Chain A
Amino acid sequence: MKKTIICISCPLGCNLAVEYNNKAIIRVLGNACNRGAKYAGKEIFSPERVVTSTVKIMGARVPLLSVKTDCSVSKEKMFDIMKQIFKIQIEAPINRGSIICKNICGSGANLVATRTLDKTTQIR
């Protein structure tokens, strides 16, 4: 089978011509670097994305803490993960990289903070 996909691994966005069968990738053309071939394999058989969002935070000078999954997760799991994210509420202080939720929704990825927020008594 043949399919043309766009590599999203970097802003270049190469057009990849992918040839594959039921089990494996046969050939990838058009990728400017190796990551393209790797991406094509994933995208054809089990597409994955990184989820970035925010969770509520108490005791910081802002109401929201930005978070991400520390690796890409199955596309099918994205909305379950978002539902879980809505429920989370944490307390300052938080350091960038701290784990907010381990193995979120069994996706294999941890939800981590992407920002450092100190504790403050001054709420805006």
Chain B
Amino acid sequence: MIKNVDAIVIGGGPAGMAAALSLKNNGIEKVLIAEREDFLGGILLQCIHNGFGLHRFKEELTGPEYAERYIDFLKSTDVEVLLKTCAIDIVSTGKKKKVYLMSESSGLIEVNAKVVILAMGCRERNRGNIAIPGSRPAGVMTAGLAQKLVNRYGYMPGKEIVILGSGDIGLIMARRMTWEGAKVKAVIELQSYPGGLNRNIVQCLNDYNIPLYLSHTITNIYGNERIRAVDVAPINEFREPLKENTFNITCDALLLSVGLIPENELSSNAGVCLDKVTGGPLVDSNLMTSISGIFACGNVLHVHDLVDWASEEAEDCGKSAGEYFKTAIVQAKGIPVKAGHLVRYALPSTLEPGKPGLISLRTIAPAENAAIIVKAGDSVLYKKTHKKIFPSEMQRIKIDTVPENADAIHVYFE
């Protein structure tokens, strides 16, 4: 089957839905969303806890509620949605893009489009990505998989749980499993600070007296068919486990919450250049990737802790993709954005002179009384001091006007 559209959005999570709506609002006629699951909403459908939408809707929604708001918006448009349809290849020849989809009902679909928006989200790091020694029994899984099993299918991964990594998914799951009657025995974190938001430490761990071991790691996993225990050890400043202080915790499940990686096989196969730090595509101020006409937003671009920002970014993305469609703007000639002291990454990689700019960034480590500074040459474009700043909180900075003749824009902490 062949389909001709103006724009195709790959992925029907919050970012994909917001991007498609924004394309419509910016006058693009034929918009198609391809989603591999049998529902729209992405990861939100399994995030049944609340804490979504405070910025967008000024109320605290659960994941499914936030998703349904966007699904309802989409229903009032003529955006075409293909469910159970996975994008398997993108081919770009000049202004023309071909996206190959594999659909459960229609088989292979060849889509011709002028604009492609990548919104495939991210996946979790697993045991292979972090290399824990020991046997490979059942009962070791990522926290997100556990979340899916419990919240969508009603299966409990175990009764006595240890969680490695203090990312938000792990923290949320610690509470969820406790509510479901499991005993969460410990959360183990390699860093000296928690990976997730403060509020989740309070309401998911402290509320239930679940111990959080900072600067600790798991040094061994025991069990033949099923996991039965783990060894936990504190680490020194060189991240070496201290053998003499190792202790053992019995458990029947180990959940890994050790970070997310943008899902970019599709993008890199298409020839899109990726950023080594974020794992997502390198983009200019229009959120256009290294290939003209291919845009990216949401977790596939960089990991968002707040869905509100993923939606906002997707809206901007749809808008600039719409501009591209109408005016065929070429890659914006941009001023490079450079990440300096304490900045893990700053996105986009270039900003357009004479225009307003929006920079997303994260710190490498927690800091107190630190000022975020954005500078072009000697002129300070932005400065704001934060009492406390954490790597788990993405910062979004608005620049009024990007100067016309700067060599680079430096983003750093002081």
Residue A92, interface by CB 8 Å: no
Q: Which residues of B contact A115 (CB under 8 A)?
A: 45, 64-65, 68
Does A11 lie within 8 Å of B49, measured CB to CB?
no
Does A53 lie within 8 Å of B48, measured CB to CB?
yes
The contact string, 1 if C-beta is below 8 Å from chain B, for chain A 51-63, is 1111010000111
Residue B153, interface by CB 8 Å: yes
Closest chain-B Cβ to A87's Cβ sits at a distance in Å of 13
- Extra contacts, 6 of them, besides A6-B199, A8-B199, A52-B49 (Cβ < 8 A), are A9-B199, A10-B54, A13-B199, A82-B179, A82-B181, A114-B48
Residue A96, interface by CB 8 Å: yes
Q: Which residues of B contact A50 (CB under 8 A)?
A: 50, 60
Q: Which residues of B contact A114 (CB under 8 A)?
A: 48, 61-62, 64-65
- B positions within 8 Å CB-CB of A: 38, 45, 48-51, 54, 60-62, 64-65, 68, 151-154, 179-181, 197-199, 201-203, 207, 305-306, 388, 393
Residue A28, interface by CB 8 Å: no
- A positions within 8 Å CB-CB of B: 5-11, 13, 15, 49-54, 56, 61-64, 66, 68, 75, 78-79, 82, 96, 114-116
Q: How many interface contacts (CB-CB < 8 Å) are there between A and B? A: 74
Closest chain-B Cβ to A102's Cβ sits at a distance in Å of 19
Q: Which residues of A contact B181 (CB under 8 A)?
A: 82
14 inter-chain pairs at a CB distance below 8 angstroms, sorted by A residue, are A7-B199, A11-B197, A13-B197, A13-B199, A15-B388, A52-B50, A53-B48, A64-B151, A64-B152, A66-B48, A66-B62, A82-B180, A115-B45, A116-B68
The answer to whether A68 and B68 touch (CB under 8 A), given A10-B54, A50-B50, is no
The answer to whether A11 and B393 touch (CB under 8 A), given A52-B48, A78-B179, A82-B179, is yes
With the chains together, A64 CA to B154 CA distance in Å? 7
Q: Which residues of A contact B68 (CB under 8 A)?
A: 96, 115-116
Q: Of residues B38, B64, B154, B180, which shows the largest number of chain A Cβ atoms within 10 Å of its Cβ? A: B64
With the chains together, A66 CA to B54 CA distance in Å? 20
Does B153 lie within 8 Å of A66, measured CB to CB?
no
Which 7 A-B pairs have CB atoms at the shortest separation, nearest pair first?
Answer: A13-B198, A8-B199, A66-B48, A115-B64, A114-B62, A13-B199, A6-B202
With the chains together, A3 CA to B347 CA distance in Å? 39
The answer to whether A11 and B65 touch (CB under 8 A), given A52-B48, A62-B152, is no
Q: Which residues of B contact A52 (CB under 8 A)?
A: 48-50, 62
